[in-house]
Structure 1
Amino acid sequence: MSEKGLRELKKQRTFDAVSETAIGMFLKDGFDRVSVNDIAAAAEISKPTLFRYFPSKEDLVLHRFADHAGEPARVVTARADGQSAVDALHLHFVDGLAARDPVTGLNDVPEVLAFHDLVFSTPSLATRVHDYQLRDEEGLAEALVPLTPDRLTARLAAAQILAVQRVLARDNWHRLTTGESAASHHPAAVAAADGAFEQLRTGLRLSREG
């Protein structure tokens, strides 16, 4: 391996180690109770060095979401010939359920459940997640523009599609936190996803009664 490659490997190992240290401390003591100074000391690096890897305290946690940044737009752009955007996103979500991708909410590894609880119970982290979601929505809308009559339609479609995915994921996560296993809930999660995406295809139909 080249010297440059070794440097990059060392940087990545430091990045991963600092993040894992921080997340472990947050899970144990709470996000707001752990300071950046505490994390730097535990990771045996200086505070300036820590900030070179992570611009903010929140980034120590939320860099994990970066792996999925822009994913909806990429799925639409890379879809098979003749496949609709909704069909591509539907298949991608169902595949994620089978793979127990944490982004689908269907992952009952205790550390993953604890991580999700940390994120969504900490206001500053939840706010940042919302920012990530808005960027994904904007990216998906851009990918949908060529498939829709105008930009407003593309924006409305992107918002609806990602809202469906968020609701499905949160429902899966909630069911796991109440004691269901990912394996036992998987068939119901797939059925819920199938129904939700079919509703996207056909439009919302509400009863006039009630």
Structure 2
Amino acid sequence: MTEQPGLRERKKLRTHAAISEAAIALFLEHGFDQISVAQVAEAAEVSKRTLFAYFPAKEDLVVHRFADHETESARVVRARPAGVTPLTALREHFLEGLRVRDPITGINDRPDIRALFRMVLDTPSLAARLQRFRSTGERTLAEALRETADTPDLTARLAAAQIVAVQWTLTLDNAARLASGETADARYAGAVGDAEHAFALLENGLRELPRRAG
């Protein structure tokens, strides 16, 4: 039986959610750079000190929405069935994400999700903050590759860097298309094709890259 969180933990979760929801609502209505941390704290009915206890930086009020996916690739690699390569597991996981319109693939056109991605794409400080999630994703994926596939350290780090870069490129391409007005259904076939192409390049060690023109 799963242990239920205690009263103190539930209160912390409610406060975290209240601050997050207040922040996202204000940012989407007025713009990220136009709203101060003090205004978010006031809307959430907490002090600035309390807000910073939950979200150390203003950017965290937005990008924490991606936090659950920070170590997702590592989890997929660790959970893959026997006989399945890490890259195959990650490819199938990404394609399934596209099929179910998982927001982390960038192909969910719910108005709030599309608006959130548009704000991240249009705000340099938010886009830069996402790089910390990318770094964590690379590190944890490299660890999973070393531990489950007996991959040498350098090879694991190089592979993780390429895989995570591909995943983020695909996601941000999809998000940009939807932010400009394309629907998820209209984008789906192209998103699948791009993902298949991207993972084929990884599978082939980037041998499909053209030679430099003379």
Q: Structure 1's 4 and 81: CA in aligned 2 closer, same or farther, altered over 3 A?
A: closer
Output the CA distance in 1 between the equivalents of 2:16 and 2:22: 10
Deviation of 1:98 (Å): 1.2
Output the CA distance in 2 between the equivalents of 1:176 and 1:162: 21
Output the CA distance in 2 between the equivalents of 1:190 and 1:141: 25
| 1:33-81 Cα shifts (integer Å, max 9, x gaps) | 2111111111122222222222222221121111112111111011111
Deviation of 1:154 (Å): 1.1
- The aligned runs of 1:60-75 (5 Å cut-off) are 60-75=61-76
Unaligned runs of 5+ in 2: none
Output the CA distance in 1 between the equivalents of 2:187 and 2:136: 30
How many residues are treated as equivalent by the alignment?
209
Q: Structure 1's 206 and 14: CA in aligned 2 closer, same or farther, altered over 3 A?
A: closer
TM normalised by structure 1 equals: 0.91
User: What residue identity is the alignment partner of 2:104?
Assistant: V
Deviation of 1:208 (Å): 4.0
Q: Is the 8 Å Cα contact of residues 148 and 154 (structure 1) preserved in structure 2?
A: no
1:184 is the counterpart of 2:191? no
From 155, 158, 161, the equivalent of 1:156 is 158
* Structure 2 counterpart of 1:206: 209
TM normalised by structure 2 equals: 0.89
CA-based RMSD: 2.0
Q: Structure 1's 25 and 194: CA in aligned 2 closer, same or farther, altered over 3 A?
A: same
Q: Structure 1's 151 and 172: CA in aligned 2 closer, same or farther, altered over 3 A?
A: same
Deviation of 1:148 (Å): 5.7
Output the CA distance in 1 between the equivalents of 2:4 and 2:144: 39
Output the CA distance in 1 between the equivalents of 2:109 and 2:125: 24
- Stretch moving more, 145-154 or 73-82: 145-154
Output the CA distance in 2 between the equivalents of 1:191 and 1:175: 15
Unaligned runs of 5+ in 1: none
Q: Structure 1's 50 and 177: CA in aligned 2 closer, same or farther, altered over 3 A?
A: closer
Output the CA distance in 2 between the equivalents of 1:31 and 1:100: 26
* Structure 1 counterpart of 2:120: 119
* Structure 1 counterpart of 2:25: 24
- The aligned runs of 1:1-210 (5 Å cut-off) are 5-146=6-147, 147=149, 150-204=152-206, 205-208=208-211, 210=213
Q: Structure 1's 174 and 58: CA in aligned 2 closer, same or farther, altered over 3 A?
A: closer
Say which SS state the counterpart of residue 107 (structure 1) adopts. Answer: coil
Output the CA distance in 1 between the equivalents of 2:199 and 2:101: 19
Output the CA distance in 2 between the equivalents of 1:56 and 1:172: 27
